[in-house]
């Protein structure tokens, strides 16, 4: 069974997808981490962001692994580094590069293998796993999402103004919804859930209910 969770930045996908995977005993795949790892690799090599071919070549050269708890880049544990504000701000170069996307989609399918998996991102139910047995589209208002991101960054010791986080997020929303390749889009067969006003636990409860119901129907 593949469960896809797509939605805009800050809707709470990562934490609820991870918790849901734990409850179901499924593997968890954070696909944003693969785009972040490519961006970090480019920063480390001082790559010119305008050179799309070089970025695509780099994506194919580096070794990225993602498991339930750790992300590695060429053997280095980069789990925390890829979440910094600086890497978040440049990851769109990787996410809007068609060749990088094509390569990472192949990697993501390989990571999922034949296992039961909860996978989260922007295009999981539409492009990467259109055959998924259960598709969720998680949303929340822009202010609520920015507030959560701002709190996460503060917890990591990054002090930014709320307005900066909100405007950065609006920019990313704009890019996510409107890019030519792999845009954020709700799959027609996805269940949409707004997380406004719900605790993470309430969201996970609701998602678990949806998935178990689907599993029973398919059994």
- Min dist. Cβ of residue 191 to ligand DC (A): 18
Which range touches ligand DC (CB under 6 A), out of 60-68, 71-79, 88-96, 136-144?
88-96
Is 179 or 215 the residue whose CB approaches ligand DC more closely?
Answer: 179
d(CA 28, CA 68): 5
- When asked if residue 135 is in the footprint of ligand DC (CB under 6 A), the reply is no
d(CA 50, CA 47): 9
How crowded is the C-beta side of 14, counted as CA atoms within 13 Å? 13
First vs last C-alpha separation in the chain: 11
Q: Of 111, 123, 140, 207, which lies in the binding site for ligand DC, with binding defined by CB under 6 A?
A: 123
- When asked if residue 7 is in the footprint of ligand DC (CB under 6 A), the reply is no
- Min dist. Cβ of residue 121 to ligand DC (A): 2
Is 49 or 215 the residue whose CB approaches ligand DC more closely?
Answer: 49
- Is residue 59 within a helix (H) or strand (E), and if so which, with residue range? helix 52-61
In terms of Cβ atoms closer than 10 Å to its own Cβ (0-12, 13-18, 19+), residue 152 is middle
- When asked if residue 41 is in the footprint of ligand DC (CB under 6 A), the reply is no
Beta bridge pairs of residue 193? 138
* Collapsed DSSP state (helix, strand, coil) of residue 46: coil
Q: Of 17, 64, 91, 150, which lies in the binding site for ligand DC, with binding defined by CB under 6 A?
A: 91
- When asked if residue 92 is in the footprint of ligand DC (CB under 6 A), the reply is yes
* Collapsed DSSP state (helix, strand, coil) of residue 140: coil
- Is residue 99 within a helix (H) or strand (E), and if so which, with residue range? helix 98-112
- When asked if residue 32 is in the footprint of ligand DC (CB under 6 A), the reply is yes
- When asked if residue 12 is in the footprint of ligand DC (CB under 6 A), the reply is no
- When asked if residue 97 is in the footprint of ligand DC (CB under 6 A), the reply is no
DSSP state for residue 83 in the 8-state scheme? G
- Min dist. Cβ of residue 23 to ligand DC (A): 21
Is 57 or 185 the residue whose CB approaches ligand DC more closely?
Answer: 185
d(CA 181, CA 160): 30
- When asked if residue 2 is in the footprint of ligand DC (CB under 6 A), the reply is no
The contact set with ligand DC (CB under 6 A) reads: 9, 31-32, 35-36, 91-92, 95, 121-123, 172, 176, 182
């Amino acid at each position: 069974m593949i469960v896809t969770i797509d939605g805009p930045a800050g809707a709470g996908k990562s934490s609820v997808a991870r918790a849901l995977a734990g409850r179901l005993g499924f593997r968890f795949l954070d696909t944003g981490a693969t785009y972040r790892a490519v961006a970090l690799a480019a920063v480390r090599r001082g790559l010119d962001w305008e050179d799309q071919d070089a970025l695509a070549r780099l994506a194919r050269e580096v070794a990225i692994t993602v498991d339930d708890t750790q992300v590695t880049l060429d053997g280095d544990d980069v789990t925390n580094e890829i979440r910094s504000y600086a890497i978040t701000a440049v990851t769109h170069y990787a996410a809007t590069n068609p060749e990088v996307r094509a390569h990472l989609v192949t990697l993501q399918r390989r990571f999922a293998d034949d296992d039961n998996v909860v996978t989260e991102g922007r295009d999981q139910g539409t492009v990467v796993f259109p055959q998924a047995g259960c598709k969720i589209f998680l949303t929340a208002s822009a202010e609520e999402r920015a507030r959560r991101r701002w709190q996460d960054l503060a917890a990591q010791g990054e002090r930014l103004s709320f307005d900066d986080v909100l405007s950065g997020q609006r920019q990313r929303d704009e890019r996510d919804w409107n890019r030519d390749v792999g845009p954020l889009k709700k799959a027609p067969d996805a269940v949409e859930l707004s997380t406004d006003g719900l605790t993470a636990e309430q969201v996970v409860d609701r998602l678990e209910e949806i998935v178990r119901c689907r599993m029973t129907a398919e059994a």
